[in-house]
Amino acid sequence: MARIQASRVVWDSLFTLVFPASCRVCQSAIEGFTPVPVCPACLRAARPYAGLECAGCGLFLRGNAALQETLYCGLCLQGAFVFEQARSFGRYEGVLRSLIHHLKYDGFRPLARPLGKLLAHTVQRLDAPVFDLVLPVPLHSKRQRRRGFNQAALLAAALSAELSAETSPVSGIRVRTEDCVRVRDTRPQTGLRAAERRKNVDGAFEVPRPERVQSRRLLLVDDVITTGATVNACAQALLDAGAGRVSVVTLARAHPEDADVL
Ligand SMILES: [Zn+2]
Ligand SMILES: [Zn+2]
């Protein structure tokens, strides 16, 4: 496994050396060699969401952000989520969507690094950005083997490195990829209604060693959040195992009807 990963890393870097670097998003030529096949202008074009959001789950809301009110969405008011708070960098569209695609489906792993910076920015939008551990939302082992990596784990590692590099209240937090595992290979959430999504992922996660998360403040990381059903099921497993609290950050927030959210 380690060998396969090492050879992929070599391949990723060879790829950038052998082929002339052109930006995968806007197709313009990139000056010099770069491990990231996206130009600086496109990386800068991914802007954080600046509108109103639900104070709980971070759902993007319509309305005037200047009002600075504390607002909750209908689901949060019903107590639908067990995680403390969730925040997403931006909408699942445009450049951000394209960057996530290149990481996830085209396997451009070096993209995790600039995307980790966006996540570090997002962490600061949580009310209490202090954590003991960072955990990626796990993929089922079958799916991870097929893809060769878990994009959420790459993002969690990049985020942790970013936070450790800053003078930040969350510096030096560890990433644990093995503390929450996916025990059921769920079908893609695409096309499912909210209630079906919750049922689809119910009981899909397990915490093999509860003592490792006991009373810990956890930060769950994923690339995209849609209805929140997946992160909620994951948070439920961690809280059942004794976690102190679970917060969530994702790069993007997608509409349930976005066809390519898996
Ligand atoms: Zn570009
Ligand atoms: Zn909410």
Ligand with minimal distance to 25 CA: 1
Ligand with minimal distance to 98 CA: 1
Count of alpha carbons within 13 angstroms of residue 65, beta-carbon side = 7
Q: Which residues pair with 206 in a beta bridge?
A: 181
CA 9–ligand 1 middle distance (angstroms) = 23
Report whether 122 contacts 249 (CB < 8 A). yes
Grouping H, G, I as helix, E, B as strand and the rest as coil, residue 116 is helix
Q: Any idea what the Cα angle at residue 1 is, between residues 3 and 214, rounded to 5°? A: 130
CA 30–ligand 1 middle distance (angstroms) = 8
CA 161–ligand 1 middle distance (angstroms) = 25
CA 80–ligand 2 middle distance (angstroms) = 8
CATH assignment of the domain containing 125: 3.40.50
Q: State the total domains in the chain.
A: 1
CA 23–ligand 1 middle distance (angstroms) = 5
Structural domain harbouring 140: 81-253
Mean pLDDT of 4-17: 55
pLDDT digits 0-9 by tens, 62-109? 877 666 678 899 999 999 999 999 999 999 999 999 999 999 998 899
Grouping H, G, I as helix, E, B as strand and the rest as coil, residue 252 is strand
Q: Which residues pair with 134 in a beta bridge?
A: 175, 219
- Give the C-alpha separation, 31 to 39, whole Å: 9
Residues 6+ apart with CB under 8 A from 30: 21, 22, 23, 37, 39
- The answer to whether position 172 is within a domain reads yes
- The answer to whether position 147 is within a domain reads yes
- The answer to whether position 242 is within a domain reads yes
- The answer to whether position 139 is within a domain reads yes
Give the H/E segment covering residue 61: strand 60-61
- The answer to whether position 241 is within a domain reads yes
Report whether 259 contacts 93 (CB < 8 A). no
Ligand with minimal distance to 29 CA: 1
- The answer to whether position 54 is within a domain reads no
- The answer to whether position 22 is within a domain reads no
The band of 18, judged by pLDDT with boundaries at 50, 70 and 90, is: very low
Q: How many residues does the chain have?
A: 262
pLDDT digits 0-9 by tens, 127-186? 999 899 999 999 998 989 999 999 999 999 999 999 887 655 544 678 888 899 999 887
CA 238–ligand 1 middle distance (angstroms) = 39
Ligand with minimal distance to 44 CA: 1
CA 135–ligand 2 middle distance (angstroms) = 21
pLDDT digits 0-9 by tens, 188-241? 777 777 788 888 888 899 999 999 999 999 999 999 999 999 999 999 999 999
- Give the C-alpha separation, 159 to 172, whole Å: 11
Residue 135 has which token pair? 């955990």
CA 114–ligand 1 middle distance (angstroms) = 14
Q: What is the pTM of this model?
A: 0.86
CA 5–ligand 1 middle distance (angstroms) = 27
Residues lining ion ligand 2 (Cβ < 5 A) are 54, 56-57, 59, 73, 76
CA 22–ligand 1 middle distance (angstroms) = 8
Given its phi and psi angles, is residue 36 left (phi above 0), alpha (psi -120 to 50 degrees) or beta? beta
Report whether 142 contacts 97 (CB < 8 A). no
- The answer to whether position 243 is within a domain reads yes
